[in-house]
């Protein structure tokens, strides 16, 4: 049974760097499962900088929506898989449904529950990076509040399904579980 790990924290807290270090420690065959989409030049540049920082030791798979299915498909191929990031995945899922549909939240969270179930059945360790978005002010618009609520519920669900949970603050990872 793998040791799945969730790493959370705020923006620029050091969570991705810590996740990369942790993943590298698990073996030579590494997969970076990326959920970001280069929808503008600035995001494309961010993705490029992340790829340069990781170097050639990683195989990068880009998948914005079908995370549980992709994890199940690549299970057993790598020493470890880094999923970066859960909250971008949630954003992709939320934007793929009608936010005014009362079932939108349930639809997105059903994907999260499918991910939690997939993680429990994996033979390959998975390290998940997510953002802690609920520590700020209450957002002023409905979509942002819905996103915050979904992210908080998703983080709780995934933390419960992982063996280890860390929070990164100012570049320092703290083990919670």
Rounded to whole angstroms, how far apart are CA atoms 101 and 166?
Answer: 34
- String of DSSP letters for the chain: ----EEEEESTTSSHHHHHHHHHHTT-S-EEEEE-----SHHHHHHHHHHHHHH-TTEEEEE-SS-HHHHHHHHTTTSSEEEEE-HHHHHHHHHHHS-TTSTTHHHHHHHHHHHHHHHHHT-SS-EEEE----TTSPPPSSHHHHHHHHHHHHHHHHHHHHSSEEEEEETTEEEE--
**pLDDT given at position 37:** 82
Position 50 scores a pLDDT of: 81
Q: Which of these is catalytic: 48, 50, 111, 113? A: 50
Structural domain boundaries enclosing 151? 5-175
| pTM given for the model | 0.93
**Mean pLDDT in residue range 25-49:** 89
- Torsion angle of the four alpha carbons 56, 61, 64, 66, in this order, in degrees rounded to the nearest 10: -150
Predicted confidence (pLDDT) at residue 99 exceeds the cutoff of 50: yes
**pLDDT over threshold 50, residue 172:** yes
- The pLDDT tens digits of the residues spanning 129-147 come to 999 998 888 889 999 999 9
Q: Note the pLDDT tens digit of each residue in 52-92.
A: 888 888 999 999 999 999 999 999 999 999 999 999 999 99
Q: Residue 127: which of 1, 28, 6, 2 has the closest Cα? A: 6
Query: What is the average per-residue pLDDT within 147-161?
Result: 97
User: Which tens digit of pLDDT belongs to each residue from 107-130?
Assistant: 999 999 999 999 999 999 999 999
pLDDT of residue 164: 97
Stretch among 49-53, 63-67, 159-163 having the lowest mean pLDDT = 49-53
Q: Which two structure tokens, joined as six digits, stand for 8?
A: 């959370």
Confidence of residue 2 (pLDDT cuts 50, 70, 90): low
What pLDDT does residue 52 have?
82
- Write the CATH number for 159: 3.40.50.300
CA quadruple 51, 54, 60, 62: dihedral sign: negative
Count of domains observed in the chain? 1
Q: What percent of the chain has pLDDT over 70?
A: 99
Say which residues have a Cβ less than 8 Å from residue 161's Cβ, sequence separation at least 6. 4, 116, 117, 119, 120
Instruction: Confirm whether 50 is a catalytic residue.
Output: yes
């Amino acid at each position: 049974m793998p040791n799945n790990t969730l790493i959370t924290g705020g923006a620029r807290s050091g969570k991705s760097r810590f996740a990369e270090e942790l993943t590298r420690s698990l073996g030579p065959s590494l997969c970076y499962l990326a959920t970001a989409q280069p929808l503008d030049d600035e995001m494309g540049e961010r993705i490029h900088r992340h790829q340069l920082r990781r170097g050639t030791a990683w195989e990068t798979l880009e998948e914005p929506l079908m995370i549980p299915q992709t994890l199940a498909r690549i299970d057993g191929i790598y020493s470890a898989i880094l999923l970066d990031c859960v909250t971008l995945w949630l954003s992709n899922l939320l934007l793929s449904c009608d936010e005014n549909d009362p079932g939108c939240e349930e639809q997105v969270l059903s994907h999260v529950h499918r991910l939690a179930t997939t993680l429990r059945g994996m033979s390959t360790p998975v390290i998940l990076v997510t953002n802690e978005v609920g520590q700020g002010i209450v957002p002023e618009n409905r979509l942002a509040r819905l996103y915050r609520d979904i992210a908080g519920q998703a983080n709780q669900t995934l933390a419960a399904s992982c063996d280890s949970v860390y929070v990164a603050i100012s570049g320092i990872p703290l083990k919670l579980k």
